[in-house]
Structure formats: C-alpha cells, structure tokens
Amino acid sequence: MNDAKKNSVLIVDDENANIMALTHILNSEYTIYAAKNGHKAIEAAEKYLPDVILLDIIMPEMDGHAVISALKDAEKTRDIPVVFITGLSNAGDEEKGLVLGAADYISKPFSPAIVKLRVRNQIKMLNQLRMIELLSMMDQLTSIQNRRGFDNRMEMEWIRAIMENAFISFLIMDVDKFKVYNDTYGHPQGDRVLQTVAKTVTQSLDRPGDYAARWGGEEFVVLLPNTDSNVAMTIAEKIRLNVSNAVIPCEDGSETRVTVSIGVNTQAPQQNNSRDDFIAEADKALYKAKESGRNRVCSPD
C-alpha cells in the first residue's frame, strides 16, 4: 500500500522503547509519527492531523491529561480520536481520561493483537464517519456537491483568498424556464435535465481548484479560486454554450435542449468583506441575465 493512502497514527510517549514497540506493531498498516513529550505532541498533531493519537498518560512536564485537554480545545485537532496508553489500572484514572474525551485505552505491557484491534476499531469508525460526512455533502440526484458541501469549500477558499490577497470568482446559474419544461415533459425528464446540466458544468471546468455544486432546485454554482473577472466570464460563457449544445433525450426517442442564465461576481476579499454580500452580488447579476432575455452571462455592473 502506498504510504500516502495509509491512515496515520501519532505515538506520544517519553520512552523510546515504547515508541519503537508500537511502531513495530503498527508500521505495516499505518503511517507513523512520533513525539516524546506533550508540547511536541500538540505541534505534531496540528502539523500532521493524524487519524488516531496514541497518548501516554504519565509524562514529565505535561502529562497525557493536559495534552488531551489542549487537543480537544483546538479546532484543528478536537475531532482526532485519542487512545491512552498506560500502565495505570485505577478506575478513577480511566474515568478521568474518558471524561476528557479519550476514545479508548491500551494497557502496558503491550499485546500486539490488542494494540492492532483497538487502533483498527478507531480507524474503522473514523472512516465510516468520514463517508457519512462525504455523503451528507453530496447531492443524490446529480452526484455533485450540495449546498452544505459548497458552504464548507467556500469558507476555506474565502479565507485563503484573504490571506493571499487573491481574486475569487463565483458563478450562479439557473436553468431557464425549468418549471415550464417540467410541466411539459414531467418530473422524471426534469431530473434528467438537472443531471445533464450538472455533468455539463463539471465537464466544462478544466482546472483542479474549480468547484461546482447544486445550489438547490434548478440552480447551480461554481467557485473559481485565483480567478479574475475576465477569466471568470470566459468560463461562464463556456458553460452557457456547452449547456445550450447538450442534447437531453426523452423516453419517446425525441430530443430536447435547455439553456442557463449565469450571474458572475469577482472580488479580492479583505478581512472585513462579507461572503454573503459577495454571493448576493452574483445573484443580482443572475437576475439581470434573466431579465435581459435569458441564456446569457452577466456581471453585477
């Protein structure tokens, strides 16, 4: 298995022997990171974002309880499952760890079979949660991202644009006269339209960072990081043309076509700018496109 595709484990222990023993047990299945004290553990967790952290309780300066408290207080690391590794057998110590957010315990001396099983259980649960999260951000009809998925991506790209003082562009599009189409051909055919538009939009995007989503109903959006207004308008026009040329077959063998109207907005956001205002300006441009006759691309000005 390629290391890049492996799940990862951060081992935190002040004893080299324990780190070596756990690495030997887990190295064939996971990418392993190690830290010998609490402060280094927090740094490594923030840097590598491991899938699971194996954390010794008794360490000098900063013990495991203090480390897990710091990890759970930080947004980047709070969801990483922490498994305590300990020689303590006191029920009170175990209860304290669980209260602080520990996912499980591994006792010393290590049993390789138990270590593997407990780590695998955490990885399995984590991967299942990630799949559920991924599905929750997917539009089931069109198989592209939904509004929730878009909101997550938008937040990330907006922050990046502010940090890098870069342009970001946003396209919002609406299938023209979709209600009339639905009333004429029926909802199953309307679903085919939405699936065709979604596929056409995504196939019109050539760059890895470009991102399409279904906004809701017959509306779709595209996020274009590091993209100025001229390039954004060109991409929007390409999408408009490709959609208008797409053939949508009907069950009776006939063929139909649809068009989209697209609103485009571009900004190099600053710290005090609002994402909602940015999106609202693109929405205004969309209405401008529809009022101007549909099947066209417009910017706010």
Taking the C-alpha atoms of residue 282 and residue 170, their distance in angstroms, rounded to an integer, is: 7
Q: Look at residue 134 and give its three-state secondary structure.
A: helix
Q: How far is CA 69 from the centre of its chain?
A: 26
Q: Any idea what the CATH number is for the domain that residue 95 is in?
A: 3.40.50.2300
First to last CA, the chain: 53
Least confident of 43-52, 125-134, 194-203: 125-134
Whether residue 29 lies inside any domain: the answer is yes
**pLDDT recorded at residue 179:** 96
Q: Any idea what the CATH number is for the domain that residue 184 is in?
A: 3.30.70.270
Of 205, 216, 197, the closest CA to residue 283 belongs to 216
Asked whether residue 116 falls in the same domain as residue 225, the answer is no
Percent of the chain at pLDDT > 70 equals 96
Question: Residue 288 corresponds to which tokens in the numbers above?
Answer: 């401008």
Taking the C-alpha atoms of residue 145 and residue 212, their distance in angstroms, rounded to an integer, is: 7
C-alpha neighbours within 13 Å on the C-beta side of residue 103: 21
The residue segments making up the domain with residue 12 are 3-136
Q: What is the mean pLDDT of the chain?
A: 92
Asked whether residue 51 falls in the same domain as residue 121, the answer is yes
Asked whether residue 250 falls in the same domain as residue 286, the answer is yes
Whether residue 141 lies inside any domain: the answer is no
**pLDDT recorded at residue 90:** 60
Which of the following is catalytic: 46, 133, 218, 219?
218
Of 286, 280, 281, 265, the closest CA to residue 167 belongs to 265
Q: What are the phi and psi torsion angles at 262 (to 5°)?
A: -130, 130
Number of domains in the chain: 2
Question: Residue 190 corresponds to which tokens in the numbers above?
Answer: 């309307």
Asked whether residue 130 falls in the same domain as residue 107, the answer is yes
Q: What is the CA radius of gyration of the chain?
A: 26
Say which DSSP state 145 is in: B
Question: Residue 221 corresponds to which tokens in the numbers above?
Answer: 């959006």
Q: How far is CA 105 from the centre of its chain?
A: 30
Of 70, 73, 74, 94, the closest CA to residue 83 belongs to 94
Asked whether residue 151 falls in the same domain as residue 109, the answer is no
Asked whether residue 34 falls in the same domain as residue 95, the answer is yes
The per-residue pLDDT for range 182-193, each reduced to its tens digit, is 999 999 999 999
Whether residue 200 lies inside any domain: the answer is yes
Domain boundary among 117, 136, 155: 136
Encoded amino acid at 276, one letter? D
The per-residue pLDDT for range 63-117, each reduced to its tens digit, is 999 999 999 999 899 999 999 988 766 656 667 777 888 888 888 889 999 999 9
Encoded amino acid at 132, one letter? I
Asked whether residue 129 falls in the same domain as residue 228, the answer is no
114-119-67 Cα angle (round to 5): 110
CB 84 within 8 A of CB 55: yes
The answer to whether the predicted template modeling score (pTM) of the entire model surpasses 0.75 is no
Buried b (16+ CB within 10 A) or exposed e, 121-137: ebbeebeeeeeeeeeeb
Question: Residue 32 corresponds to which tokens in the numbers above?
Answer: 């392993």
Domain boundary among 106, 136, 166: 136
**pLDDT recorded at residue 5:** 72
Asked whether residue 87 falls in the same domain as residue 154, the answer is no
Asked whether residue 158 falls in the same domain as residue 226, the answer is yes
The per-residue pLDDT for range 148-158, each reduced to its tens digit, is 999 989 999 99
Token pair 């392993």: residue: 32
Is residue 46 among the annotated active site residues? no
Adjacency order of strands within the sheet including 82-86: 31-35, 8-12, 52-56, 82-86, 104-107
Asked whether residue 103 falls in the same domain as residue 154, the answer is no
Whether residue 96 lies inside any domain: the answer is yes
